[in-house]
Amino acid sequence: MLKRHLETAINNWITDGRNAMLVSGARQVGKTYLIRNCLKQKNADYIEINFIKNPEMVAVFENSKSTEDLKISISASLNRSLTEGQTILFLDEVQEYKDIVTKIKFWVDDGSFKYILSGSLLGIELIDLRSAPVGYLDEITMYPLDFIEFLWACGVKDEVINYLRKCFDEDKEVSENVHNKMMEQFRRYLVVGGMPACVNEFVESGDIKKVSAIQKNIISEYKRDFTKYEAKEKKLMLQSVYELVPSELLKQNRRFNLADIKKGLKFERVEDSFLWLKSAGVTICVYNATEPKIALNQNMKSSLVKLYMSDVGLLTDIYGPSMKLGILSENKTINCGGIYENAVMQELCAHGFDTYYYNSKRLGELDCVIEHNGHILPIEIKSGKDYYVHSALTNCLNNEEFDIPEAIVFSGYNVSRKERTRYLPIYMCTFVKNDVELPILNPLAEI
């Protein structure tokens, strides 16, 4: 069984949750398995209903006017008994029941049962998902395994991870042996990625060819989802954008070039495709920020965007066997800058960050800019040995208008620091978390 960070949140909900819980995420990231396993480990009284495997159950829920109706209908349909105050209904593939969100409020209000929901393409398929009644539905998003979860799967002990975290927190150099081992694991992560089926196969067999077969199946499944767009033109545009991501990331400037789809193509023609792929969880959109200042989402330029794959292993598989061999053997001649960037963006996304990039003719370009602990944090990602060369980063740090306290450069080299720039090994991107805590204030004014 793969250990996942979200186990804690789901277990806490099983014990104390009052609202319905929605676990969203792309296909094949392990939602169903994790929920089912947590319910079993807690010895919960639960009934699992999959709306793809049991499409007739949509009508059962739709036609139930009360939870008493629902209880009787489920019992009759599945030959299972429900106990009020104990039974948890695990509703899977809820994208097949498009107005489920409108029903949640009434079910939760009644309080007879608890509901945990899961599915894919939820931002696309479900009606009014984002306008769900506040106070009735809690949502968490699941991603491919991050690097720590990958290390757990590979048998790396918590004491090693805690040692690395301490080095990260205190800017201390990692012992050479541990650093080399972690770089080896990170290179494997770049090839295997974080899709649970791929990680399981890698842990069980170590056979990269078998892992690749699974990755190809996942990519094919993602592409089949494109057919959900009824208009032929939109299907073709989705496919064109998705299939261009790997080649765009091989370029020095990773920004997505619309001319690579069609010369003269306007952003308005392709914007829906970018949003669809992002909402489906199969790509990560990194938008241009016009200034590296707090409230990045208010000064972004959505027509300038870099697209990354949601899983770095899928990206590397598209590049083919030679790229994989080059990564695993530390071949310095291969261009894996885009792969490094994809891994970092994927990690930051999984940790809840909105990622941006910054570009200025005067100051240069920053690979990544995030809001971290109440400040702007610029991040540069270097795959080569010139990791100390970063004029844009230095320019932005020296610009008093931006008020940037420090910056990070991720590379294949060990921990060091020079003034306000932290140089960290690429695998330490897994420790970048947003730990800012908002204060609890006295609501009564003291005058």
Residue 209 burial class via C-beta count within 10 angstroms: exposed 0-12, middle 13-18, buried 19 and up? exposed
pLDDT for 128 equals 56
324 φ, ψ (degrees, to nearest 5) = -60, -45
Residue 359 pairs in a beta bridge with 365
User: What number of other Cβ atoms are within 10 A of residue 18's Cβ?
Assistant: 11
Give me the domains of the chain, ranges plus CATH numbers. 7-142 (3.40.50.300), 147-431 (no CATH)
Q: Can you list the pairs that 300-303 forms with residues at least 24 positions away whose Cβ atoms lie under 8 Å?
A: 300/356, 302/271, 303/267, 303/271
Q: Could you give the CA distance from residue 371 to residue 293 in angstroms, rounded to a whole number?
A: 9
Question: pLDDT in tens for each of the 447 residues of the chain?
Answer: 899 999 999 999 999 999 999 999 999 999 999 999 999 999 999 999 999 999 999 999 999 888 899 999 999 999 999 999 999 999 999 999 888 877 888 889 888 999 999 998 887 776 555 556 667 889 999 999 999 999 999 999 999 999 999 999 999 999 999 999 999 999 999 999 999 999 999 999 999 999 999 999 999 999 999 887 767 788 899 999 999 999 999 998 899 999 999 999 999 999 999 999 999 999 999 999 999 999 999 999 999 999 999 999 999 999 999 999 999 999 988 989 999 999 999 999 999 999 999 999 999 999 999 999 999 999 999 988 888 889 999 999 999 999 999 999 999 999 999 999 999 999 999 999 987 777 888 787 666
Helices (H) then strands (E): counts for the chain = 17, 13
Following DSSP, what letter does each residue of 263-294 receive, concatenated?
Answer: TT--HHHHHHHHHHHHHTTSEEEEEEESSSSS
pTM above 0.85, yes or no: yes
End-to-end CA distance of the chain: 58
Residue with tokens 């009052």: 18
Q: Position 436: which residue type?
A: V
Q: How far apart are CA 233 and CA 60, in angstroms?
A: 36
Helix, strand, coil in percent for the chain, rounding step 5: 45, 15, 35
The single-letter code of the amino acid at 391 is S
CA dist., res. 153 & res. 447, Å (int): 57
What is the DSSP code (8-state) at residue 73?
H
Distances (CA, A) of 229 to 28, 121, 223, 244: 21, 12, 11, 19
- Predicted confidence at residue 435, as pLDDT, reads 76
Cα separation, 287 vs 370, whole angstroms: 11
Identify the three-state secondary structure at position 71: helix
Strands of the sheet with 421-425, listed across from one edge: 300-309, 283-289, 356-360, 364-372, 375-381, 407-411, 421-425, 416-418
- Range list of H helices, 79-175: 100-110, 122-125, 147-153, 158-170
* Residue type (1 letter), 177: N
Per-residue model confidence (pLDDT) at position 414: 97
Give the model's pLDDT for residue 266: 93
335: left (phi over 0), alpha (psi -120 to 50) or beta: beta
**Residue 170 three-state SS:** helix
- Integer CA distances (angstroms), 161 to 12, 105, 188, 334, 427, in order: 24, 42, 17, 29, 11
* Contact assessment for residue 422 and residue 409, using Cβ atoms and an 8 Å cutoff: yes
The span from the CA of 314 to the CA of 318, in Å, is 6
Kind plus residue range of the DSSP H or E element containing 119? none
The pLDDT of residue 188: 99
> What is the number of other CB atoms lying within 10 angstroms of the CB of residue 347?
26
